[in-house]
């Protein structure tokens, strides 16, 4: 028996048996059938939408996790992945994030100046070059941290390597890193081609 036939039964039992020949009764039966079928269709649509939405959410979550894992692996976004710079020069063609140990100062706090040094910066051509330096606590965050400074070279005509020195005493205090044994330093390329020989922190005596 069809859905429409089953819905017609209650009306046939209510009154005159001749009602099945009455056009008005046919209309009534049609409207009643429509009222039942529409929610049924809507329920199917809602279920279909829920399944599609759940599928999209699952796909997005998996993609996002894969992307984050890729970022962590490539740029080093956690202390477990980050390492020290090492002894070999590195091309600065993408952001470099490294752990930099903080040596203990031989002087009093008031006499100590903390210097961050990016050593053996090599710009092999005569064009311009620039990179930015950021410092952060080694707390597992993927944030670059606080801006420390930039090296900007325009129309370079000499080929000797250079060292970039930045005073970071106040910066370390601002980020709450006075008692940290290591910091995270990020080198972000902005323009040109260059390589970096190393990154270190020195504690020197203020003059």
Q: Domain boundaries in the chain? A: 3-72, 90-205
Query: CA 142, 147, 153 angle in degrees (round to 5)?
Result: 120
pLDDT of res. 72 = 44
Cβ distance 66 to 74 under 8 Å?
A: no
Cβ distance 98 to 82 under 8 Å?
A: yes
How many angstroms from the chain centroid is the CA of residue 169?
29
pLDDT of res. 91 = 95
pLDDT of res. 180 = 94
> Could you say which residues of the chain have pLDDT below 50?
1-38, 40, 43, 63-65, 67-78
pLDDT of res. 60 = 52
pLDDT of res. 37 = 45
pLDDT of res. 34 = 44
Enter the tokens of residue 167: 């005073």
pLDDT of res. 167 = 96
pLDDT of res. 1 = 47
Q: What share of the chain is helix, strand, coil (3-state, %, to 5)?
A: 35, 30, 35
Would you give the DSSP letter of residue 81?
A: T
pLDDT of res. 43 = 47
Distance CA 62, CA 158 (A): 50
Distance CA 158, CA 106 (A): 37
pLDDT of res. 164 = 95
Please classify residue 59 by burial: count the beta carbons closer than 10 Å to its beta carbon, then call 0-12 exposed, 13-18 middle and 19+ buried. Answer: exposed
pLDDT of res. 197 = 96
Task: Provide the whole-model pTM.
Answer: 0.60
Cβ distance 199 to 187 under 8 Å?
A: yes
**For the chain, how many helices (H) and strands (E)?**
3, 9
What kind and span of H or E run contains 120?
A: strand 112-121
Distance CA 113, CA 104 (A): 12
Report, at the CATH architecture level, how domain 90-205 is classified: Sandwich (2.60)
Would you give the DSSP letter of residue 105?
A: P
């Amino acid at each position: 028996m069809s859905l429409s036939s089953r819905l017609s039964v209650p009306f046939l039992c209510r009154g005159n048996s001749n009602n099945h020949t009455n056009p008005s009764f046919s209309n009534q039966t049609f409207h009643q059938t429509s009222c039942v079928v529409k929610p049924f269709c809507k329920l199917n649509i809602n279920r279909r939408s829920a399944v599609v939405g759940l599928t999209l959410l699952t796909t997005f979550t998996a993609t996002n996790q894969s992307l984050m894992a890729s970022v962590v692996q490539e740029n080093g976004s956690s202390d477990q992945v980050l390492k020290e710079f090492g002894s070999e020069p590195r091309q600065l063609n993408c952001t470099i994030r490294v752990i930099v140990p903080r040596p203990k100062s031989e002087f009093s706090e008031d006499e100590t100046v903390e210097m961050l040094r990016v050593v053996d910066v090599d710009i092999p051509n005569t064009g311009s070059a620039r990179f930015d330096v950021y410092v952060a606590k080694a707390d597992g965050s993927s944030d670059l941290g606080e801006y420390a400074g930039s090296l900007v070279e325009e129309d370079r005509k000499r080929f000797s390597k250079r060292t970039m020195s930045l005073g970071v005493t106040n910066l370390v205090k601002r980020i709450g890193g006075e008692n940290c044994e290591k910091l995270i330093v990020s080198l972000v390329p902005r323009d040109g081609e260059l390589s970096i020989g190393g990154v270190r922190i020195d504690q020197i005596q203020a003059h």
